Structure 1
Amino acid sequence: MIHRRALLAAGSAAVLAGTARAQDAWPTRPVSILVPFVAGGPSDIVARVIAQRMSMTLGQPAVAENRPGANGEVAARAVARATPDGHTLLVGSIGVFAINTALRPTLGYDPVREFAPITLAVTTPNVLVVNAQRVPVNTFQELVAWLKANPGRTSYSTSGVGSSDHLTMELFKQETGTDPTHVPYGGGAAAATDLIAGNVQLSFQNLGTVAAHIQGGRLKAIAVTSRQRHPVLPEVPTVIESGIADFEVTSWQAAMAPANVPAAILARLNAEATAALKHPESVQRLEQIGFTVVAGSAADYSRFQRAEIGRWRRVVQTAGIRPE
């Protein structure tokens, strides 16, 4: 019995020593943070905030690399198949880590099984906006009544099929019994531009995309999808305030590593990424463009991600949405 205990103790010590060595050894070369979209978007901004701060603390460069394609699938597949040693990471969106799996049954990666969570980085609400010249309403209830009074004659813009703003509108339609026609665009900027031009009447858009247009009077904000009013638009009520219980929707960005990265390295990645995001300069920069920094535990993000996948799968199935 004593011999067996000694062996178990020795084995435990070896595991702890190996874990410590793995953590101490990482990183041994530059850390690549893949971004599944072009430069300048939310995922790119968050990845560069993390990379900048991590480069100051790791002793190795951390480099954000844009790898766009197939609505995030190109970068996601590359990271899922990378060596799980903590040197290749992915910062992606709600689309990459939740909506894609609900929308595309033949998706070439599994955002749960093939990745290890690091942290939910930031969230931002969508904003229900209208063209004030085309839609003579001021409140959420007035908008719903107007849509019901004009069936088949209204349309809404989105940044693309399966985007956060698309599914938010589909959820709105399901909750209100309205049915404006979907007009997808190649990004939020184009969707907002055509709304301003009056070619469509309404849209749910990311706060960062439309805040300046709202403040400049080019669009009218009807409601935000956060649980509480947002400090960027404190006078705009929430959808929950406006009568739809639990209508909380956020567009979000998260950091992931390939599955099977050693636990010690994952813990270090969480510590480094959350410290980078919570740095006062990072918080100021991100909040200025409408993001709320979360930067929590890997376990909290894992639970959140699974709930989001289930939620948007139900919306996709109810709406009968098919990828283009």
Structure 2
Amino acid sequence: MKSTRRRAIAAAVALGSACAAGFAWANGYPSKPITLVVAYPAGGDTDALARLFAEKLAARVGQPVVVDNRPGASGIIGSAYVSKAPPDGHTLLLAPSTFSIAQLVLKSGGASGYDVLNGFTPIVQTGSLPLFLVAGSASGLATLKDLVGAAKGGKPLTYASPGSGSPMHILGEMFNRAAGVNLAHVPYKGVAPAVNDVLGGHVPATFITLGPVAPYFANGKMLPLAVASRERSPLAPKVPTLLELGYKDVEVTAWNGLWGPRNLPPEIVKTLNGHFNEILKMPDIVSRMAVLGTVPVGGRADALGKINAADFERFGKVIKELGIQAD
């Protein structure tokens, strides 16, 4: 009996020590600089957000947070890098919603070496980005009714997007189907050239996030025709939704979120989620995100996993039905 009791006590002490050591390790996080990977070039919206968050997170955790741009293949290169990183919380990924669909639209996506549904640990959805249909003033299109009427009347019209296979491209093709029109897609390598060509009158309209185009609304160089979110955006409350204007099943909202490698310890997820939920409430962060066309979200870690899975399923079907591919 005594021997059995001694073994039980010893086992309990060992288990307690192991748990204590585990929590001590988690509570000591981070123990070195954190790398925040952005799978796109410097200067874009995701990069700008990453640098905002990096500064705030570094001040809270007492370690440098370094933004590492690893662009290529619609975000697949940077995402693959993080998927292979040690799950210790020192390598993270800030990704836009292209994360969910990149493998679906690229011919080589299946060879990327990671599982977009199960190969990462969701930490927090940082923001939501409503997508707008915007016309250039040179187009002569003042309303969505003008655009659809012109298209149905036989006028050849095009729309710009930041790239083939982007959420904006998918939205454009969903709108074509819902409206019964055939706006030809003109893909660009990024937001800036797409916006410039709409401003220059080379392309009449674009599906785009708000940040890059909002400065042109006040001077009349661009006109917002509709927003593709379920409800009007608080960033542009006067712009009607596509649903209000009679177009169903054309709801597409972009987002961004923070991810870690698979099997990131729950205590680290909880720590990072808590920090970001506080960061996303800071007035200077809220105002800066608004300039970038982003509404702060926050919330539980699993909410990000759910929106990723929902987009993967929904847009997977749309991509297949409409034959959408990236260059």
Deviates more, 1:83-92 or 1:15-24: 15-24
Matches within 5 A, 1:201-220: 201-220=204-223
Do residues 149 (structure 1) and 153 (structure 2) align? yes
Give the total of aligned pairs.
321
**How far has the Cα of 1:94 moved from its partner?**
0.9
Kindly state the Cα deviation for residue 107 of structure 1 after the two structures are TM-superposed. Answer: 4.4
Offset at residue 139 of structure 1 (A): 2.9
Pick from 110, 113, 117 the counterpart of residue 112 of structure 1.
Answer: 117
Matched, 1:198 2:177: no
Cα pair 1:157 1:183 within 8 Å, conserved: yes
The alignment's TM-score, normalised by the length of structure 2, stands at 0.90
**RMSD over aligned Cα atoms:** 2.2
CA–CA separation in structure 2 for the residues paired with 1:12 and 1:186: 55
Contact 2:178–2:249 (CA under 8 A) maintained in structure 1: no
Q: Structure 2 CA distance, aligned partners of 1:209 and 1:315?
A: 26
Take 2:22 and 2:178, find their aligned partners in 1: how far apart are those partners?
A: 50
8 Å contact kept, 1:35–1:47? yes
The answer to whether the 8 Å contact 1:90/1:255 transfers is yes
Aligned to 1:186, which of 189, 198, 201? 189
Q: Counterpart of 2:136?
A: 131
Q: Distance in 2 between matches of 1:99 and 1:280?
A: 32
Moved more, 102-111 or 74-83: 102-111
Question: Is it true that 1:221 corresponds to 2:227 in the alignment?
Answer: no
1:122-169: CA deviation from partner (whole Å, max 9, x where unpaired) = 111111112343344x33234223212226x11111111011211110
Distance 1:259 1:25 in 2: 20
Alignment check: 8 A CA contact 1:49 1:276 kept: no
Residue in 2 that maps onto 1:101: 103
Name the structure 2 match of 1:318: 321
Q: Bigger shift: 5-14 or 60-69?
A: 5-14
Spell out, residue by residue over 1:246-268, the C-alpha distance to the aligned partner (whole angstroms, 9 max, x if none).
Answer: 53322211110000111111111
Shift of 1:112: 2.0
TM, length-normalised to structure 1: 0.91
Give 1:275's aligned residue. 278
C-alpha distance in 2 between matches for 1:244 and 1:12 = 59
Aligned equivalent of 2:235: 232
Distance (Å, rounded) in 2 between the aligned partners of 1:15 and 1:294: 36
Q: Decide which moves more: 82-91 or 63-72.
A: 63-72
46, 50, 53: which one pairs with 1:50?
A: 53
CA distance in 1 between counterparts of 2:310 and 2:203 reads 32
Q: CA deviation at 1:322?
A: 2.2
Which 10-residue stretch deviates more, 214-223 or 291-300? 214-223
Q: What is the aligned-residue identity percentage? A: 34
Question: Which amino acid is 1:219 matched to?
Answer: M
- Equivalent position amino acid for 1:204 in 2: F
Aligned to 1:74: 77
Unaligned runs of 5+ in 2: none
- Counterpart position of 2:25: 22
User: What is the DSSP-based 3-state SS (H/G/I as helix, E as strand, rest coil) of the residue aligned with 1:278?
Assistant: coil
